[in-house]
Amino acid sequence: MIEEIITSGRMNPEIDPVLHVWGWEIPFYLFLGGISAGILIFSAYFTLRNRQDELPVAVKWMPLAVPFLIGIGLIALLMDLSHVLYFWQLFTNIRWESPMSWGAWTLGIIMPLSIAWIATWVEDIFPKWDWKFDEVKTVINWLKNYRRYMAQILILLSVILGMYTGILLSAFNARPFWNTSILGPLFLTSGLSASAALISFFSKSEVEKRLFTRIDIILIGIELFMIIHLFMGHLAGTQVHIQAAQMFLGGAFTVPFWVFVVGLGLLLPVVLEILELKHKFIPAIVPVVLIVAGNLMLRFIVVNAGQASRWLY
C-alpha cells in the first residue's frame, strides 16, 4: 500500500488534485490550426502540380476560410493567456527549444501569407472583383508571378503549423501521455484528413470529390496506424507511460476515445466514404460531420488525458 497525503493544503487552483490549466481554448485552437494547415497544404500542393482549374475548391475556395479559422483560433489562444497584456513578449523572443515560441512565429508569418495567397486567387473565383486601387492591383499582379515560391513556403510553414501543436505537447515530459513523438505526425494527418473531407463535401465537381474522398480514406488509414503505434509505444514504455495508456484501455478515457474518436470519427466515416466511391448513396454531410467532430474530440481528449497523466513519486 502506498498512501500519499499532501498536508498543509497544497490545493493550488487549476493544479490540484489533477492538473487542468488548459481548458477548451487550447484543444479548440489545435483543431482550427490543424484544419487550416491541411487546407493550405492541399491548396499549395495542387497549385504546384498545376491542377488549379481542375480542383477549384481545394486550390482557390477553401483557403478563403483560413484567415478566419486562424483568427478564431488566435482569439481562443489569447483567451487562454492569464497574463494576456504581455502577449507581445512572444514576438520579442525567439526560443528554439520552446515549440510554443516557433509556433507563435509560424502563425505570425502564415497569417499574412495566407491572406496574400487568397488575394492572388480572388479574381479567379469572383470575376467581377475590383480591387479599387491601382497600387493594390499592381502588388497582386506582382505576387501572382511568385505563386510557385509562395506555394513552396506555404507547404513548409503549414506542415510546421500542423505538426507543432503535437510536438508542443510531446515536449512536455512531465505528462507521460503526451510524451510521444507520434503526436506531431498524428495531428498533421488528422488535420489533413478533416480538410480533405471538407473539400470533398464543398466540391461540386465529381473529379475533385472522388479524388479527395480517396485521399481522405488513405489519411484515415494512416491515422489509425498511428493511433495503434501511439499505444504500442506507451505500452512498451516505462511504468508511467503504461499507466498513461491504461487511461485509454479500461480507464476514464476508454469510451470517449474508442467509441467517439476511433469508432464514429474514423472507422464509420471511412466505411461511408468507401461506399460513396462505390456509387452507393450516402448523404455527403454525414461523413464530413463525423470526421470533423472526431477531429475536435481527438484534440480535446489528448489535451485532457495528457494533463491527467503524471509521474508518480
Partner 1 sequence: MRYAMAVDTLKCVGCSDCVVACQTENDVPIGHCRDWIVEKTTGTYPELQLEIRSERCNHCANAPCVRTCPTEASHYAEGGIVLVEESECIGCKACITSCPYDARFIHPEGYVDKCTFCIHRVEKGQNPACVSVCPTHAMIFGDLDDLNSDISRAMATRKWKSLIPEAGTDPKVFYLI
The least distance separating partner 1 from the CB of residue 259, rounded to whole angstroms, comes to 27
Distances, alpha carbon 128 to alpha carbons 2, 131, 134, 138, 157, in Å:
73, 10, 16, 17, 31
- Of 66-74, 87-95, 209-217, 288-296, the segment contacting partner 1 by CB under 8 A is 87-95
Nearer to partner 1, 147 or 310 (CB): 310
User: Does 181 interact with partner 1 (rule: CB under 8 A)?
Assistant: no
Contact present, 55 and 46 (Cβ < 8 Å): yes
User: Does 25 interact with partner 1 (rule: CB under 8 A)?
Assistant: no
Q: Which of 50, 53, 82, 127 binds partner 1 (CB under 8 A)?
A: 82
Pattern 225-244, binding to partner 1, x per CB under 8 A?
-------------x------
The count of residues interacting with partner 1 (CB under 8 A) is 49
User: Does 174 interact with partner 1 (rule: CB under 8 A)?
Assistant: yes
Nearer to partner 1, 98 or 152 (CB): 98
The least distance separating partner 1 from the CB of residue 85, rounded to whole angstroms, comes to 8
Taking CB atoms within 8 Å and a gap of at least 24, the contacts of 137-144 are 143/116, 143/119, 144/120
d(CA 171, CA 218): 28
User: Does 98 interact with partner 1 (rule: CB under 8 A)?
Assistant: yes
User: Does 101 interact with partner 1 (rule: CB under 8 A)?
Assistant: yes
d(CA 220, CA 291): 9
Handedness of CA 198, 201, 203, 206 (dihedral sign): positive
Q: Which residue in 293, 273, 281 sits closest to 200, CA to CA?
A: 273
d(CA 243, CA 260): 22
User: Does 165 interact with partner 1 (rule: CB under 8 A)?
Assistant: no
User: Does 133 interact with partner 1 (rule: CB under 8 A)?
Assistant: no
User: Does 50 interact with partner 1 (rule: CB under 8 A)?
Assistant: no
The least distance separating partner 1 from the CB of residue 92, rounded to whole angstroms, comes to 8
The least distance separating partner 1 from the CB of residue 26, rounded to whole angstroms, comes to 9
User: Does 13 interact with partner 1 (rule: CB under 8 A)?
Assistant: yes
The least distance separating partner 1 from the CB of residue 157, rounded to whole angstroms, comes to 18
User: Does 172 interact with partner 1 (rule: CB under 8 A)?
Assistant: yes
Q: Which amino acid is at 221?
A: G
Helix (H, G, I), strand (E, B) or coil at 294: helix
Contact present, 59 and 121 (Cβ < 8 Å): yes
User: Does 109 interact with partner 1 (rule: CB under 8 A)?
Assistant: no
User: Does 144 interact with partner 1 (rule: CB under 8 A)?
Assistant: no
User: Does 24 interact with partner 1 (rule: CB under 8 A)?
Assistant: no
Q: Which of 49, 93, 235, 259 binds partner 1 (CB under 8 A)?
A: 93
Q: Which of 5, 250, 278, 281 binds partner 1 (CB under 8 A)?
A: 5
| Cα 222 to chain centroid, rounded | 15
Buried b (16+ CB within 10 A) or exposed e, 188-226: bbbbbbbbbbbbbbbbeeeebbebbbebbbebbebbeeb
Contact present, 70 and 31 (Cβ < 8 Å): no
User: Does 80 interact with partner 1 (rule: CB under 8 A)?
Assistant: yes
With cell 513519486, the residue in question is 313
Binding residues for partner 1, per CB under 8 A?
Answer: 1-16, 19, 21-22, 80-84, 86-87, 89-90, 92-93, 95, 97-101, 104, 168, 171-175, 238, 306-307, 310-311, 313
